[in-house]
Structure 1
């Protein structure tokens, strides 16, 4: 299967840096699947090097979209990182990171991350565009070489799948709770910043981190994780999102190193920029 390219909506949107405003939505939702949360707890340095792990994971995932002729090679490497991530759940069931249902859930959270980021901070998507992006996600997923038996057939089926996962399969396991702990307790002081400085600087930094983290989570996930979010918080969040959307004209004329991830910029230079948008 040919990898995604400039004619795809995914190329246009996935590497857009405005998606960073969604916070750690995808990562937290991944960890809320019990099998995935336990796998990370037992086989990852997540607890000792949380941000380092996230940074190391982001590049290869982006390159399964933007890697061009090497996308499948990158996808296979990402898949093979997970070969030995397996064990036993508390109830005695076996888990494996390459179980199609577990692996597809991780992929689904990246797809959701992109869709949520676009509609919240860029512009609304038509149903036809969502369907197109979902079909492109099948191409993206194929780069991993993992069974697609857990993948819903089409966009409406994916929506039902997403609702079912949020309402029936996720929990506040130790790994997931840890991943949003800073939203309740604040970020740890960076080693190079003196304690008196962080005491002042940490107040606005933690407020922004909490706002983006909790605001970017689905309501169902907030409830499961016990993340407090009021109607006033939601009004402020929607006002902020609207402000970002209103800046789209300014955003369009900024340099590409501001607008897009390094992986996307490299792909644009190699294979061409995304095609002009048209109604699909």
Structure 2
């Protein structure tokens, strides 16, 4: 299931909600606040995070290397969280929470962006696949709930006892400080974006806030005291319906992210040679 979900461009709409769930944990939020460049280089950080996620699913041997790289990167991240507790980024409970947030966001956004909600069997399969990805990242089985019966109480307990609307959460849904223009890509495109950024910047900031809060599971939204109206819910459903209608009609080069396109092409080539060993992409 991850083979199809993670590679589609619709993933770009769901990642902000997962990130918000991650940083709402006091330890994770403190680490991001003190050690991340998300304020000074938001586009670069987003690009690197997306590249890493794609490697987990499509990278094969490189997925293991990426798991090792991430753990090396986080070894020096430590400090004190908002509740005065010492934290280290590789503390198993904190590292596992960062990974765990992906599942409830995938499960929730499927109701908006997929043809239909996941069946119970699909939810179990998706969670089992997410656990396997966690092992690639170095998360031990003892540190993650091993089935959905264990996951949902763990998730709700974390919402109730740990999460908070901290500084990083507020920054990620802020519209008072628009995103800076991207500093990557062809020079002509960057110059054109800069020229139009006084208009585009605030629009993108509002869209980011809209999809971040909108695609957050409702119980998480309540735990973080984020407002969401009936009118906003109607707009989100209309927006999602447009995405859901257009996306399947796009050619593959527009529908899938580069790593997914390459993996799908490699799978087809192996299949033609009778050597297919990767999961077959859904039609």
When the two structures are superposed, what TM-score results if normalisation uses the length of structure 1? 0.83
2:5 aligns to what? 13
Number of residue-to-residue matches in the alignment:
265
2:50 aligns to what? 58
2:61 aligns to what? 69
Segments of 5+ residues of structure 1 without an aligned counterpart are 1-8
1:44 aligns with 2:36: yes
Q: Give the Cα separation in 1 of the matches to 2:209 and 2:82.
A: 31
Q: Which has the higher contact order (CA 8 A, sep 6+)?
A: 1
Q: CA deviation at 1:253?
A: 4.5
1:262 aligns with 2:258: yes
Q: CA deviation at 1:99?
A: 1.1
Q: Give the Cα separation in 1 of the matches to 2:252 and 2:131.
A: 27
CA contact (8 A) 2:105 2:215 kept: no
CA contact (8 A) 2:160 2:223 kept: no
Q: Give the Cα separation in 1 of the matches to 2:88 and 2:109.
A: 30
CA RMSD of aligned residues (A): 2.7
| Greater displacement, 61-70 / 98-107 | 61-70
1:275 aligns to what? 280
Partner SS for 1:95: strand
Q: Which residues of 2 match residues 1-280 of structure 1 at below 5 A?
A: 9-22=1-14, 24-123=16-115, 124-182=117-175, 185=176, 187-188=178-179, 190=181, 197-202=196-201, 204-245=203-244, 247=245, 251-272=247-268, 274-275=279-280
- Alpha carbons of 1:186 and 1:212: their partners in 2 closer, same or farther (altered >3 Å)? farther
CA contact (8 A) 2:267 2:280 kept: no
CA contact (8 A) 2:96 2:144 kept: yes
- Alpha carbons of 1:232 and 1:61: their partners in 2 closer, same or farther (altered >3 Å)? same
CA contact (8 A) 1:19 1:121 kept: no
2:274 aligns to what? none
CA contact (8 A) 2:7 2:256 kept: yes
Partner SS for 1:233: helix
When the two structures are superposed, what TM-score results if normalisation uses the length of structure 2? 0.82
Partner SS for 2:34: helix
Q: Give the Cα separation in 2 of the matches to 1:132 and 1:155.
A: 10
